[in-house]
Amino acid sequence: MSSPRTILHADMDAFYAAVEQRDHPEYRGRPLIVGGIGKRGVVSTASYEARRFGVHSAQPGAIAQQLCPGGIFVQPRMSAYVEASRQIRAIFERFTPQIEPLSLDEAFLDVTGSRLLFGDGREIARTIRERVFEETELTISIGVASSKYVAKVASDLEKPNALVVVEPGTERAFLRPLSVSRLWGAGKRMQELLDGHGIRTIGDVQDIGRATLEALIGAHAGQHFWSLAHGEDVRDVVADRDAKSISHETTFEDDLDDPEAARAVLLSLAEGVGRRLRAHGLVATTVRLKLRYPPFETLTRQQRLDVPSDDDRVLHRVGVQLLDAVDRGSGIRLIGIGASGLRPASGVARQGSLFREGPDPRKAGAALRAMDAINERFGSDSITHAGTKLTRSEDGAERSRRRPH
């Protein structure tokens, strides 16, 4: 019988805000809000000082200003966060090649094959945390477990700057006292539905039969939550090089009803996907939109591109078209955009067309790569798309498959 896996979920603490406080000493110890600027601004990240006032990711900036009138609002500096993320990724790679990035500030690591070299999961996580702080002056929280779900719950439990280890065989006991809000996909409406049946903790879910739970909340949701409550999650960590698609998602603490805010969040996610495509020398042939509504309805739409692309503006434009075509009867709990049908960019002709609107794809591709290089070198938003500065101040948290951090 094989030994249990060792999975790490590594999550930077209030990442964007932490980078700003690191680079601007005058912000330290003060409530700092990244994003949320402008009439339709959406908070990207709030420092822990701001969170004490009730400010959180994906919150309309106007509400954040009411809750925290003394807060400092700053525009996101995406390339500064990309550079910090690149440094952190390099630290991860010293311990394992099995890294599944979820966004700039969050990743799963499978260190099962690294234990003989670097020690058990606790020791590896401890060393990673030390290296990250020494080399970036940023803190990171890490959960260690035998599955992705339990590791993710563990990393969030004692934030910030935490290390939580769940030993194999103790998963059910670890999860038992936690609120059902810790179950992936259990938004406020699902929590209210469960509460109506007297189900308030994960232990309550463990104690109820699966068939009974499915009868109460539906077969799909019931099976999903029952499995998670028992710590059952067999999904593998999928490294970038093995991925068949690249996607970014974000889950909102409060359901998002504003279409303009949804488009702004989608732009932030598309930028992240585009950067990863270009970093790996890939282009996509298909764009995929993912939406989740409470209590547990997931909708996906996809569209094939006329010309394979790594341009985040193309990804965003198609994503918005798919979004606008959806009949949204309720607020959005999760939104994501993905790129699939990946192929090497070197094998794709970037051919312009006299009849196609927009810039010549060859020139656009060269410009994007030049922008990536300039921003990487100088560590700030030295050069951006026209009109992107304002939009970036209205983006949502660039966080895949996650709750707001």
CATH number at residue 341: 3.30.1490.100
In a domain, 114, yes or no: yes
Report the alpha-carbon angle 21-26-141, nearest 5: 20
**Is cis: bond before 168, omega within 30 of 0?**
no
**Is cis: bond before 160, omega within 30 of 0?**
yes
- Res 378: pLDDT: 47
**Burial of 93 (C-beta count, 10 Å sphere; 0-12/13-18/19+):** exposed
Q: What is the mean pLDDT of residues 323-349?
A: 84
Secondary structure class of 24 (helix, strand, coil) = coil
> What distance in Å separates the CA atoms of residue 236 and residue 110, rounded to the nearest whole number?
8
Same domain, 349 and 252: yes
Same domain, 249 and 379: yes
Band of residue 350 on the pLDDT scale cut at 50, 70, 90: low
Average pLDDT for the chain = 84
In a domain, 262, yes or no: yes
- Res 401: pLDDT: 35
pLDDT at 170 over 80: yes
User: pLDDT per residue over 310-328, tens digit each?
Assistant: 999 999 999 999 999 987 6
Higher pLDDT, 382 or 203: 203
In a domain, 83, yes or no: no
Determine contact, residues 69/8, Cβ cutoff 8 Å: no
Band of residue 280 on the pLDDT scale cut at 50, 70, 90: confident
The catalytic position among 20, 106, 271, 394 is 106
Same domain, 294 and 384: yes
> What distance in Å separates the CA atoms of residue 63 and residue 253, rounded to the nearest whole number?
14
pLDDT at 30 over 80: yes
Determine contact, residues 293/299, Cβ cutoff 8 Å: yes
> What distance in Å separates the CA atoms of residue 45 and residue 261, rounded to the nearest whole number?
15
159: nearest Cα among 180, 147, 143, 170: 143
Say if strands 163-165 and 140-145 run parallel, antiparallel, or are unpaired: parallel
Helices (H), 58-161: 61-67, 78-93, 115-118, 121-136, 148-157
Residue 260 designated active-site:
no
In a domain, 87, yes or no: no
**Residue written as tokens 């599955």?**
147
Give the number of other CB atoms < 10 A from CB of residue 166.
23
Determine contact, residues 99/92, Cβ cutoff 8 Å: yes
Same domain, 348 and 367: yes
- Res 387: pLDDT: 35
Residues of the domain holding 40: 15-78
Report the number of distinct structural domains present in the chain: 4
pLDDT at 183 over 50: yes
Same domain, 223 and 253: no
- Res 103: pLDDT: 81
Cα–chain center distance at 195: 28
pLDDT at 202 over 80: yes
Same domain, 194 and 127: no
Higher pLDDT, 164 or 375: 164
Same domain, 349 and 278: yes
Secondary structure class of 328 (helix, strand, coil) = coil
What CATH number corresponds to the domain at position 123?
3.30.70.270
Q: Give the H or E element holding residue 340.
A: strand 332-340
pLDDT at 216 over 70: yes
> What distance in Å separates the CA atoms of residue 18 and residue 24, rounded to the nearest whole number?
10
In a domain, 237, yes or no: no
User: pLDDT per residue over 54-105, tens digit each?
Assistant: 999 888 888 999 999 999 999 988 879 989 999 999 999 999 999 998 888 9
Q: What is the mean pLDDT of residues 181-193?
A: 87
Same domain, 282 and 208: no
Q: What is the mean pLDDT of residues 144-165?
A: 97
- Res 37: pLDDT: 80
178: nearest Cα among 186, 216, 237: 186
In a domain, 86, yes or no: no
Tokens read off for 101: 């990035």
What CATH number corresponds to the domain at position 20?
3.40.1170.60
Same domain, 250 and 379: yes
Q: CA of 35: how far to CAs of 44, 73, 120, 198, 304, in Å? A: 5, 7, 39, 39, 32
- pTM score, whole prediction: 0.73
- Res 113: pLDDT: 95
What CATH number corresponds to the domain at position 217?
1.10.150.20
- Res 128: pLDDT: 98
Starting at the earlier edge strand, list the strands of the sheet with 43-46.
43-46, 32-35, 72-74
Band of residue 131 on the pLDDT scale cut at 50, 70, 90: very high
